[in-house]
Chain A
C-alpha cells in the first residue's frame, strides 16, 4: 500500500527515481487533495483481496482503474471497470484488469489498481493547466466529452487568476448554457467551479515544478464539484 498522503515533492522524487514525469492518478489526487482541491479519493490495491477491502470501505458501487506509470489511456487497454456492486465483482474486475493490461501492454509496470467509490454523475467539465512559452502557467476550462474532444470549446487564463478571471473564463465557452442545466439536468455550481479554478491557480503558482495538469472529468453539481480523474505532469529535472 502507498502511504496515505504524499506531498508533491515526495511524489516528484519518486517519479524521478522511476524516470517518469507523469504522476499516477493516486499520487496526483493525494497531492491535489492536500491542496484542498475536491477530488474523488482513490485507494491503491495491489491484490484482489486488497481491492475488495478497499471497495467495502469506500462504499459500493465502485470503479477500478489500472495504476501504472506507463499507461496514459487507461480505458484503451482495458484498465477501467465501472459500476462494481459487490466484493465478488471487485475481485473479478481486479483480475480482469491485470490480465487485460498485461496482455495489451506487456511492458507496462503495474503497481495495482485504484479503487474509488463511483461518483454521483454531474455535468462533465475539464479543468487543466499547461505552460505557455511566453506567459508561463495557463489554466484551461471547458465542458467535458465531445465539447472538448471535437469542438475544442475551451477558454484560457494566465496564472494568477482573480475571481473575475475565473468567472469570465467560465462564461466565455460557447457551450456555457449547458452549465445552466439542459434536458432536466441540474445547473452547475458556478461559484464552486470558480473556486476550483482559483485553487488551481494558487497551486500552479506555488508549485513551479508542475508542468501540466488535467482534471478530466470534473463533475459539476448544483452544490459543489468533484474531480473524478486527475493527472499531474512534473518537470523532468529540478
Chain B
C-alpha cells in the first residue's frame, strides 16, 4: 500500500524513543522483554493475563492493560499475542496512532488455511483503513543495534553498525546479525518482514537505501509479488550503496502452455538471476556467501581491477590459492620487473619462489622475520600489475611457532593491520580453521577487530572479492 511520508514514518519506527511489547509471557521466557531490556528509550509492556503480570513486573517493565492506556506516545509496538487477539491489538494500536506495529503473531496466510487467510485479511483491513504501519505478520520486526531494539537477547547493542538486513524469514534475520557479528559485521538496522501484507521488501529497500547509517544492504528473499517494483528498488539502491541479495527457494512458473521457443527456455531461476544482474546487485545463495560478500564490502577497499598479488606459506598452498582466485575470474599476473629485482635481493628461494604467487614461508616465516613481510607488502603495493593482495595466514605455521609466543602473534597482527591501513589496495587474510580451529577463530576475530578482512577459506575470499570487485566496477565504470 502507498503510505504517505513513508520514509519519515519508517524512520520513527526504526529509531523509536518508546517501545511497547504486547503479549510477552513466561512460556516464551519473556524473550521479547529480555531482548528489549537493552533498549535505550522507554519500554512498556501490555498484558492482561494476571498470571503473567508478576513476571513482567519482576523485570521492572511497567505494564498496562492496553496500548491505548500507556501515558506516552508509542513509536514501535512488537505484538506477540495469539492470533485470535491480534485484530483487537492492531485496532488498539491504530487508535493510539503508534508509529508502527510488528506482528510476531503467526498462523495467518502462511498456514494456507481459510481461517489463517481470513485473519490476515482482517488485520490488514484494520491497518489499511487506519493508515497504520503494519510490519509482517509472522515476523520478528525491527532490530536497531544502536538503540538496543532487538529480536534476541544475544544480539549486540549499544554501538552503531553500518549493515542493513531485510529478511522474509525471521530465522535468517536473526542468524545474519548473530553469525555476522562473529565475522565482524555490525548491523545498523534489520527487519524481518514476514507475510508483507502492507509493507513489502521494496519499501524497506527504499528506506535503507536513503538511511545515512547504512552503508551496505543485504537481503534474504524468497520471491516477490511485484517483480518490476522490486527490480526498480534494487536498482536505485545499488546505484547508491552495495546490495547483496540472497534468494531462498525457487518460484514455480505457472503451468500455462507455451508456444514459443523463448517461453520454453525461460526458467524461473535464470530470470531471477538476470533481474539481479540488471539491478546491479550481488547475488548469493546461502548465509555464508552473504556474510562473506558483506564482509568484503565492509572491510576491503574497492579494488581497481582483477589482478591479485598472492602470498602463501608453502608451495602447495601457493598453487591452491592461485586456483581459487582464478576460478572466480580473478587474475594472478606476473609482477613488474622492478618488483622482481627487489625480491631477488632478499627472497629465500630455497623451498620458496616469487613469481606470483609468492611462496614466502621461508622468507617471512609468518612474521618471524617481520622486516621481510613488510618488504613483500611494500613491493606488492607499489607494483602496478597488482590490484588486490591476499595472504594465507597459516594454521600450521601458527601451531608450530606463534602459538606459544603471544608477542610474535601480536606482531603479526600489527603488521597485517598496518598493511591494511597503509595500502590503497584491498587486503584479504585467509585464516583456514586448520587443526587448531579455536586458535584460528580467535585469530580471525582479532584481525577483524583491527579492520582486516579475514576469511575462512581461499574460495570464500576469492568469491567475495570477485563479486564485490564486479559490483564496484559496474557501478563506477562503464
Contact = CB atoms under 8 A, between A and B. Distances in A.
Given A156-B270, A158-B275, A129 B262 contact: yes
Interface in A95-150: 126, 128-136, 138, 140, 142, 148
B293 to A, nearest CB: 20
Given A156-B266, A213-B260, A216-B261, A133 B253 contact: yes
Interface string A173-188: 0000000000000000
Interface string A24-65: 000000000000000000000000000000000000000000
B277 interface: yes
Contact of A126 (B253, B261, B274): B261
B231 interface: yes
Interface in A148-182: 148, 152, 154-158, 161, 164-165, 168-169, 172
A180 B450 CA distance: 48
Given A135-B271, A158-B274, A148 B227 contact: no
A215 to B, nearest CB: 9
A158 B268 contact: no
A169 B253 CA distance: 22
Interface in B261-285: 261-263, 265-266, 268, 270-272, 274-275, 277-278
A131 B260 CA distance: 11
B232 to A, nearest CB: 10
Nearest to B277: A168
A212 B259 CA distance: 8
Contacts of A21: 259
Contacts of B223: 134
A214 interface: yes
Contacts of B272: 134
Given A156-B266, A158-B274, A136 B227 contact: yes
B254 interface: yes
Given A155-B274, A168-B277, A135 B227 contact: yes
Report the contact-size class of chain A (Cβ under 8 Å from the partner).
Answer: 35 or more
A22 interface: yes
B262 A134 contact: no
Contact of B261 (A138, A148, A172): A148
Given A132-B266, A138-B271, A158 B260 contact: no
A164 B280 CA distance: 11
- Most B CB within 10 A of own CB, among A135, A154, A169: A135
Contacts of A168: 277-278
A212 B256 CA distance: 12
- Most A CB within 10 A of own CB, among B223, B251, B275: B275
Contact of A134 (B251, B258, B263, B270): B251
Nearest to A134: B227
A158 B231 contact: yes
Interface in B62-101: none
Contacts of A129: 262
Nearest to B231: A158
Secondary structure at chain B's binding surface: helix, strand, loop or mixed? helix
A233 B266 contact: no
B263 A130 contact: yes
A130 to B, nearest CB: 4
Given A132-B271, A133-B254, A156-B266, A165 B278 contact: yes
A212 B228 contact: no
A136 B278 contact: no
A132 B275 CA distance: 11
Nearest to A135: B227
B224 interface: yes
B274 A130 contact: no
Contacts of A156: 266, 270-271, 274
A129 B261 CA distance: 9
A72 interface: yes
B222 to A, nearest CB: 11
B228 A135 contact: yes
10 contacts: A129-B262, A130-B263, A130-B266, A134-B272, A136-B228, A138-B271, A140-B265, A156-B266, A158-B275, A161-B278
CB-based closest 5 A-B pairs: A128-B262, A135-B227, A130-B263, A156-B274, A212-B260
Given A128-B263, A168-B277, A216-B261, 20 more contacts: A72-B259, A128-B260, A130-B258, A131-B263, A132-B227, A134-B223, A135-B227, A135-B228, A135-B271, A136-B227, A138-B266, A140-B265, A156-B274, A157-B278, A158-B228, A158-B271, A161-B278, A164-B478, A214-B261, A214-B262
